[in-house]
Chain A
Amino acid sequence: MDVYLPIANLSVNALVIIGLGGLVGILSGMFGVGGGFLTTPLLIFYGIPPTVAAASASTQVTGSSVSGVIAHSRRKGVDYQMGGVLVVGGIFGTLAGAALFRVLQQLGQIDTVINIVYVLLLGSIGGLMAKESLASVRALRRGEKLPAKKRRHHPLVANLPLRWRFYRSGLYISPLAPLILGFVTGILTILLGVGGGFVMVPAMLYLLGMGAQVVVGTSLFQILFVTLVSTMVHSLTTKAVDIVLAVLLLIGSVTGAQLGARFAQKLPPEYLRLLLATLVLLVAARLAIGLGFRPAEIYTVELLK
């Protein structure tokens, strides 16, 4: 079934895109991540121009985080105050990211930068996750319990001036820390089309020291608003949001997420984390190899308006 994408200016097989969205949806349902880090590279691999892929993927992430935010807020799993600070940081991040995007595009280096950032980010976070989950899987096999980690924020965070109380997160820290974290993930959202959950969740746990019960909900809350702003910024600057592409992806991912959530209940969380870590590392390795190999196309055309 061929569908013409009016912004990407090419026709794609709708079933392939829906299937791709479904696959990403299953993973996001299983692991509680947005899955943007898979959507963008897969779309580029399929032949969608990188800018359109990143812009439309961020639109899709908005849709796929809605029901998560609703579910978590019912459970009181969202710290709105913390989320608000993160969103403000995120909005500044998207604006700064848009400026950076334009400069890199003019230099012709946007694709390379997207790839390198992906490799570094996925490689380091995947590595950390793999290390942590391997330790807990081993402990699980031996029947031991890992010593409960003391929940503490990073000394760097403790040294920042000005302190606020974040009741739901159980924190008394400077709002500058989440503001900066939001800013960084905002840049990533614009550049890569990712929600940034896979950066935010570990940062909230290990840098800010937030309570685990509000981490995922608050992260989803921030992702929802920042991808929303990112869609607007892309619409106004790059004009690369393909609404048809986003809808096809969403049809797949919304369905897939429900299936994924059911799979997740059948697997122990330690194994789930190890699986996710493996997947992230595989994507990073594939992209890293791609940087070094002679690409299929040496030449690329960019239209001047």
Chain B
Amino acid sequence: MNKTVFLGALTVAGLSAGAAAAATLDDVKARGSLNCGVTTGLVGFAAPDANGEWDGFDVGVCRAVAAAVLGDPTAVEFVPTTGKTRFTALASGEIDMLARNTTWTFSRDVDLKFEFTGINYYDGQGFMVPKDLGVSSAKELDGATVCIQTGTTTELNLADFFRSNNMSYEPVPIETNAEAQQNYLAGACDVYTTDASGLAATRAAFEDPSAHVILPEIVSKEPLGPLVRHGDNEWGDVVRWTLNALVAAEEYGVTSANIADMAAEPTDSPEINRLLGTEGNLGEMLGLDADWAMRAIAAGGNYGELFEKNIGENTPVGLARGLNAQWTDGGLMYAPPFR
């Protein structure tokens, strides 16, 4: 009898366990919801608001994929992951995709067997210091105490930077952004370092953002993007081209405001028509229906709209487009052609 209690409980629990692996696209469709890994909370990129609704730039990508695949941008289960748990969560099939400002690196792509499906934010590691410290360059940080979030590429870049400049420092490793913030604000460290976007987002949450400066040095390349498991190319394509559709939509001037009109009947631009499914059968090739991209764009707007709404200059995060502008504006955002 004793053992049956345990087995029974497991069986009951097992009823709620689903299946994953292999054909992720089919699994997502069967499940009716997308499991998307995000951060545990970084304002602007992914953070739950007071009502528990997830919101942010990375969240926007998840919602776009959900809208493309399932037709419902709210059919997303957000799984908060830390730097440590994110890769296992993806590898073990707990999540279908990871949109957690993750840097695309060789070893993550090749050794850890993941597939980066594009770059949704070009970032680099920066330093933030209190203004009254009087530091204007990262080269002046010799001997400083530096707060870092563990489990990221940041601590490696930091070690490299200080080593190559022959400076010493004292690292204070911290698990979550919230605690890093707390330590930094209390003066337990002189410098807080993470991706420049993360710094801006963190600073936005401060009581007095103007009392802190982000130093001009960017010490690394941090191309951030969503990723999926190796070996499931159909699913990788869905995520990759959903992201591309968002970028392309901005380039072609398709916004959440005018998309309904544009999709209603074929426009003059064949590129837009193919994107929105009024011409050709791109959706079918992906294993989706014709207006997949229309739904993805309608979910939260095109890339530019997502950017402006969550992290743009009019938000507390206040990031300039910079490298993330369209290639036509001198940035790096360049969607391959839809044909």
| A and B physically associate | no
